[in-house]
Structure 1
Amino acid sequence: MAEACRLLEVQPQTVYAYVSRGKLEVMPDPADTRRSLYRAEDVAALARRKQAGRKHETLATNTLFGVEPSIPTSLSSFHRGRLYYRGQDAVALAGSASLEDVARLLWDAQQPVDFGIRRAVRAGKPGRVAAFTALAALAAGGHSTRGRLTRVLHAEAQSLVGQLADCFGAQKAEQPLHLRFAQGWNQSPQVAELLRTAMVLLVDHELTSSAFTTRIAASTGASLPACLLAGLSTLSGPLHGDASGRVQVLFGEVERLGEDQVITHYLSSGLPLAGFGHHLYPDGDPRAAALLSLFEPPPAIARFIGKATELTGLKPNIDVALAALVAHHQLPADAAFGLFATARSVGLLAHGLEQLEVTQVIRPRGRYVGRMPEATQGVRP
């Protein structure tokens, strides 16, 4: 108790309050049952939040850039280095659940979810150009989410995900989405299972930048396709949902030059290796571990992953696993982003639907740091 009070700079009663609110885990001291032990990680996290400052300006800035959560959500969370969808372990769900099952869970839908295509929208070659073009057309003529029943919005959300998958090459059929992707990409049922697992692992990741963008659009009453387009546009950045594209470039270098030369070049130059390490998973990304355990990457890539992990101490994240899956089964060039975008569209739509429960428009304030305005000159009559 004394050590916890010293680190947190609080009185014992405040520590008890942290325990009662679930912010601090406590357990009996095996050596002395009259004493209690407090989880070191919880104490450290609370201390960091206190150090972040209590001033309004500091809190507002930190909230925007992710030091503190800023929007209440019951969709997904992190606990002890694991990802949970509405309290259910995402890796465990990926063992058997389909994307449709997880959509029903996150959307809190009363009926089973079906991503079957109702009408064709794809024009041209499958890929992100077709996907964004189709979604932009739907957004341009979409109806506001305000004043519409939830079941109607769920039906529209189902159609959006199905059409997005079609734009990335999924077969038009009345089947679960992972089977439609496998058929569209000429893959076996065994590969379809890997696609199912990958998509379930990618559905949501708490309040990401793309989820925040989706919520901003939803708070204004924008249509569901407009909300999804806003979120996917943010997701398309190489530092977010298209990070697997950076890994694919890295894998291309490995196949051309060999893993030793690539690792030597990056590490001797002080360049980070894309796809290794994740600030939310200091002990390793459990999503990547789950997916990589189901197949063996191509030999050169497998050696590269092993050596990179050994030399950096950083484990591969989900972007490495997704890029390795695409390389192993020679999926289309844009398949990694297609799987990510389609799966995450379920989560983005969940964020948009959840935001509709709040009536206020999300409107952050700017903190002006530029040149001060000049004094207004008087005007003679």
Structure 2
Amino acid sequence: METRNTATETDRWIGRGEALARLGVKTQTLYAYVSRGRIAARPDPEDPRRSLYAVRDIARLTGAPVDESGADVPDPAPRGSSRGEVEIASTLTVIAGGRLFYRGMDAVQLAETATLEDVARRLWDARAANPFAEVRPRVGAVAGGSMRARLFAALARRAEEDADPRRRTVEALRLECARVLDEVVDAAAGSGPRLFLHQRLARSWKTPERDAHLIRRALVLSADHEINSAVLATRAATDGGASPAAAAFAGLMTLAGSDTMAELIRASDWVVAVRRQATDAARRAHAAGGLAGFGAPAYPAGDPRAAALLGSTDLPADLAGALREGEAATGQRANFNLALAVIARRLELSRDAAGDLLLLGRLAGLLGHALDQATNGSLIRARLRYVGPEPGAH
């Protein structure tokens, strides 16, 4: 039985057994936290074969309060939830006053001039140094299949290659994220000149240079949003020891199967249909319960991302008319999903391009969540309540 060393009690170092009990994790996870620098460890002075772990670091991960001396403070409110609710602390993105902010900066304002690389650096807290400056093209990018298939294949490859449990510095992780994003865009867009990420995509889609800013804006505004299942999947995977690429892969696959993507697909299908029919298709679709892309619960006064993206270009008469018809039919303004679909049609991109833009832009944000969780995140814990048949029941 492992005991706590009373000689070091005032320094607040505890043995493995108590550390595991406080964290509520297995031994392998504790060792992963130590290897990643999230929990300090030192040899037990009375038995060098054993280790002691810093209470302050454990409290930071679990969210348990401590006073200035490092001693535990009684928690007046029970933590956790019988419903399996999870609370996640993030330094990346917040919606406030009907506006979206990336680390305190208005995302719409950023979209005026910023590239996806600029926003990635902000979300990764890498403004002092540019990790993309050290990225070199990779020979043998993933070929074949659709753009989305190449995107996922490249990310899966990086997830396999980066599965290394050794501790890495924050700077090394940021460089790893830059390489992942660069390689995934290369795989999706195809090899070519070392341009900005949005320019590579524009080149792949044969978008005129004068319209490339629309792709840039769409990527920037797609980078991150409020907490959702994709963010939770990314952070949970990171908390379990996954590399940034593997964690972002988990999040991106979650996003690909989410209600957000389903709405985007429906909105894209409607926009395509509108260009072949009269604009009163909006009213018919709404009457049938099939009109998607209008209204955003997070933005009661209207989605500022949609307004910024749609307001950055002149729309053909049929698309502009469709928007008016849709807003009249629903009584709500277009949201960001519909804006992506409209811009994809405006640029004459493929039917799936709106979703590809969302996934590629969001990859930068999910990599940011993986970094944030690895360096600053609190322990993710949820309770699973069994409601199945009684044990032994037949």
The alignment's TM-score, normalised by the length of structure 2, stands at 0.74
Q: Determine helix, strand or coil for the equivalent of 2:150.
A: helix
Amino acid at match of 1:184: S
Q: Per-residue deviation at 1:126?
A: 4.4
Q: Work out the CA distance in 1 between the residues paired with 2:369 and 2:333.
A: 29
1:287 corresponds to which residue? 305
1:31 corresponds to which residue? none
Greater mean deviation of Cα atoms: 330-339 or 211-220: 330-339
Q: Determine helix, strand or coil for the equivalent of 1:83.
A: strand
Match of 1:179 among 199, 212, 220: 199
1:220 corresponds to which residue? 240
Q: Work out the CA distance in 1 between the residues paired with 2:287 and 2:359.
A: 34
Q: Per-residue deviation at 1:160?
A: 1.0
RMSD between aligned alpha carbons? 2.6
Give the % identical residues: 37
* Contact 2:103/2:122 (<8 A) preserved: yes
1:333 corresponds to which residue? 351
Q: Gaps spanning 5+ residues in structure 2: where?
A: 1-76
* Contact 2:296/2:303 (<8 A) preserved: yes
Amino acid at match of 1:105: R
Q: Determine helix, strand or coil for the equivalent of 1:302.
A: helix
1:324 equivalent to 2:342? Answer yes
Q: Determine helix, strand or coil for the equivalent of 1:195.
A: helix
1:80 corresponds to which residue? 97
Q: Per-residue deviation at 1:263?
A: 2.7
Q: Gaps spanning 5+ residues in structure 1: where?
A: 1-54, 65-69, 377-381
Q: Per-residue deviation at 1:272?
A: 4.6
Deviations along 1:304-356, one digit per CA (max 9) or x if unpaired, are 21111122111111111111111111123332222211111110000001111
Match of 1:141 among 161, 164, 167: 161
* Contact 2:82/2:385 (<8 A) preserved: no
- The 1:133–1:255 alpha-carbon spacing in structure 2 relative to 1, beyond 3 Å, is same
Q: Per-residue deviation at 1:148?
A: 0.7
Q: Work out the CA distance in 2 between the residues paired with 1:136 and 1:249.
A: 29
* Contact 2:164/2:243 (<8 A) preserved: yes
- The 1:87–1:300 alpha-carbon spacing in structure 2 relative to 1, beyond 3 Å, is same
* Contact 2:235/2:369 (<8 A) preserved: yes
Q: Per-residue deviation at 1:151?
A: 1.5
Q: Per-residue deviation at 1:79?
A: 0.5
* Contact 1:101/1:112 (<8 A) preserved: no
Deviations along 1:241-279, one digit per CA (max 9) or x if unpaired, are 46422211112222333221x23433333x152111111
Q: Work out the CA distance in 2 between the residues paired with 1:310 and 1:175.
A: 41
Deviations along 1:144-184, one digit per CA (max 9) or x if unpaired, are 36511111111111111112112222553222111121122
Q: Work out the CA distance in 1 between the residues paired with 2:271 and 2:258.
A: 16
1:61 equivalent to 2:80? Answer no
2:384 corresponds to which residue? 366
1:130 corresponds to which residue? 150
Q: Work out the CA distance in 2 between the residues paired with 1:88 and 1:356.
A: 23
Match of 2:130 among 84, 100, 112: 112
Q: Work out the CA distance in 2 between the residues paired with 1:168 and 1:191.
A: 19
Greater mean deviation of Cα atoms: 166-175 or 74-83: 166-175
Amino acid at match of 1:198: A
1:93 corresponds to which residue? 110
Q: Work out the CA distance in 2 between the residues paired with 1:159 and 1:85.
A: 21
Q: Per-residue deviation at 1:56?
A: 6.5
Q: Work out the CA distance in 2 between the residues paired with 1:345 and 1:315.
A: 27
The size of the alignment, in residue pairs, is 316
Q: Determine helix, strand or coil for the equivalent of 1:257.
A: coil
2:322 corresponds to which residue? 304
Amino acid at match of 1:279: P
1:195 equivalent to 2:215? Answer yes
Amino acid at match of 2:284: H
Q: Work out the CA distance in 2 between the residues paired with 1:205 and 1:359.
A: 18
Match of 2:266 among 235, 246, 253: 246
* Contact 2:263/2:292 (<8 A) preserved: yes
Deviations along 1:47-93, one digit per CA (max 9) or x if unpaired, are xxxxxxxx9799553845xxxxx111110101111000011100011
Q: Per-residue deviation at 1:359?
A: 7.5
* Contact 2:116/2:197 (<8 A) preserved: yes
* Contact 2:88/2:380 (<8 A) preserved: no
Q: Determine helix, strand or coil for the equivalent of 1:117.
A: coil
- The 1:116–1:338 alpha-carbon spacing in structure 2 relative to 1, beyond 3 Å, is farther
Q: Which structure 1 residue ranges, 4+ long, deviate > 6 Å from structure 2?
A: 55-58
Q: Work out the CA distance in 2 between the residues paired with 1:320 and 1:348.
A: 22
Q: Determine helix, strand or coil for the equivalent of 1:77.
A: strand
Greater mean deviation of Cα atoms: 168-177 or 279-288: 168-177
Q: Determine helix, strand or coil for the equivalent of 1:168.
A: helix
Q: Per-residue deviation at 1:361?
A: 5.3
Q: Work out the CA distance in 1 between the residues paired with 2:258 and 2:142.
A: 24
Deviations along 1:213-268, one digit per CA (max 9) or x if unpaired, are 000110011122211210110111251246422211112222333221x2343333
Q: Determine helix, strand or coil for the equivalent of 2:384.
A: coil
Q: Work out the CA distance in 2 between the residues paired with 1:122 and 1:128.
A: 11
- The 1:197–1:267 alpha-carbon spacing in structure 2 relative to 1, beyond 3 Å, is closer
* Contact 2:80/2:383 (<8 A) preserved: no
Greater mean deviation of Cα atoms: 354-363 or 77-86: 354-363
- The 1:62–1:329 alpha-carbon spacing in structure 2 relative to 1, beyond 3 Å, is same
Q: Determine helix, strand or coil for the equivalent of 1:74.
A: coil
Amino acid at match of 2:349: L
1:267 corresponds to which residue? 286
Q: Work out the CA distance in 1 between the residues paired with 2:166 and 2:339.
A: 39
